[in-house]
Amino acid sequence: MRCRVCRQPAVVEVRRHNAGFCPGCFVAHCRNQVERAIKEHRMIAPGERVLVAVSGGKDSLALWDLLLQLGYDVDGLYIGLGIKGYSEPSLDYARRFADERDIRLVEVDLPRDFGYDVRSGAVADHRAPCSACGLSKRHIFDRAALEGGYDVVATGHNLDDEAAVLLGNVLRWDLAYMARQRPVLPGGEGFPRKVKPLVRLAERETAAYCVLRGIDYQVEECPMSVGNRHLGYKDALNAIEERSPGTKAAFYSGFLERGAELVADVGEQSREGLHACTNCGAPTTAQGQCAFCRLVERAAGEHRRRLPVSG
């Protein structure tokens, strides 16, 4: 197979575009896709400061690299989840990426800064680990962005992630989640804007991008993801994609073009009735403390109980 652009031998095949690319043209293709997503959805305006949520995995490091290449003013934020054997190497990959480029990585560590880890949070709040993790990450991204004076938080959700979440939402007809599932969530009082510039790139494309750009990343999946519903939806979509390349992208882009506006007003209602958390001031639908502050209180107690007794 030859590169679609320059006719040199291709090293990456993108079946949904029915195209192959040589290394240089593939990297340029990824950059174009991200640039297009940013423009199409008005994600980042010139001069805005961007904070990228960095996990040490391929998507977030590819995103950071792509935004730097496109000339954005962008720092990284790593949140240590306290997952033994996984969080430490993930942080190393993120640090190495930042050190090699002499760029800023903001580090937050759940056990050190808030006194709990994802597992304790899940037990204390009777949630699944991913639910405690998601709640913690959302709150910490918002707070770090506002305190650091960033205009936008960018996350590495790719086409496979978004299509899988959409499939889950459709299977449950969860209209409120569907309404929020856009590549841009506007900012508001206490919320930075949130953007997903990788929505036009599939997971294997971000992996190929990292390999071609010489970016080392955490290859292991988070151990908490085992049995996650989301992974089942990805497998189902991959099986369909294998038989009909392009279905995943058509499913997701069709939602953005025709489905999203049908559920848009459900999303409007869900931001109504927000108060300031009595502890941290973050916007919340709860009276009193926000869900994150309540999680911290309960989880820190649980975390202390689980620590080995020394001495």
Torsion angles phi and psi, residue 235, rounded to 5: -60, -45
Please, which residue, 165 or 295, has the CB nearer to Zn ion?
Answer: 295
Nearer to ligand SF4, 14 or 83 (CB): 83
Minimum CB separation of residue 45 from ligand SF4 in Å reads 29
| Spacing of C-alpha 54 from chain mean position | 8
By the 8 A CB rule, do 19 and 30 touch?
no
DSSP-derived secondary structure letter, 10 = P
Residue 135's binding partner out of Zn ion, ligand SF4, none, with CB under 5 to 8 Å set by partner kind? none
- State the Cα–Cα distance between residues 22 and 308, nearest whole angstrom: 53
Side-chain-facing half-sphere of 21: CA atoms under 13 Å = 17
For residues 67 and 282, which CB has a smaller minimum distance to Zn ion in the complex? 282
Tallying the residues shown for the chain, one arrives at 311
Q: Which is nearer to ligand SF4, 134 or 246 (CB)?
A: 134
Binding of Zn ion at residue 290 (CB under 5 A)? yes
**Position among 279, 283, 297, 298 found at the interface with Zn ion (CB under 5 A):** 279
Pick between residue 110 and residue 215 the one whose CB is nearest to Zn ion. Answer: 110
Question: Is residue 238 at the binding interface for Zn ion, with CB under 5 A as the rule?
Answer: no
Q: Is 277 in the site for Zn ion (CB under 5 A)?
A: yes
54: partner contacted, choices ligand SF4, Zn ion, none (Cβ within 5-8 A by kind): none
Element (H, E) at 193: strand 193-195
Neighbours of 84 (CB within 10 A): 9
List the single partner that 279 binds among ligand SF4, Zn ion, none, CB under 5 to 8 Å by kind. Zn ion
Look at residue 154 and give the partner it binds from Zn ion, ligand SF4, none, a contact being a CB closer than 5 to 8 Å depending on partner kind. Answer: none
Residue 96, Cβ density class (10 Å: 0-12 exposed, 13-18 middle, ≥19 buried):
middle
Please give the DSSP secondary-structure letter assigned to residue 77.
E
10 Cβ neighbours under 8 A, 6+ residues apart = 1, 2, 3, 4, 20, 21, 22
Q: How far is CA 8 from CA 1, 16, 86, 207, 238, in A?
A: 9, 20, 39, 21, 29
- For residue 122, the minimal CB distance to ligand SF4 (Å) is 8
Residue 208 beta carbon to Zn ion: minimum distance, rounded to whole angstroms = 41
Nearer to Zn ion, 219 or 286 (CB): 286
Q: Of ligand SF4, Zn ion, none, which one does residue 225 interact with (CB within 5 to 8 Å by kind)?
A: ligand SF4
- Minimum distance from residue 53 beta carbon to ligand SF4 (Å): 11
Q: Is residue 152 within a helix (H) or strand (E), and if so which, with residue range?
A: strand 152-154
Q: Which stretch binds Zn ion (CB under 5 A): 5-13, 185-193, 223-231, 277-285?
A: 277-285
CB of 303: closest distance to Zn ion in angstroms? 18
Smallest distance from ligand SF4 to CB 289, Å: 22
Q: Max Cα separation, the chain? A: 68
Closest CB 295 distance from ligand SF4, rounded Å: 14
**Strands ordered across the beta sheet of 49-54:** 105-109, 73-80, 49-54, 152-154, 193-195, 184-185
> What is the nearest approach in angstroms of Zn ion to the Cβ of residue 301?
17
Helix (H) or strand (E) holding 13: strand 12-14
Which residues of this chain interact with ligand SF4, rule CB under 6 A? Answer: 118, 129-130, 133-134, 222, 224-225
Chain positions contacting Zn ion, by CB under 5 A = 277, 279-280, 282, 290, 293
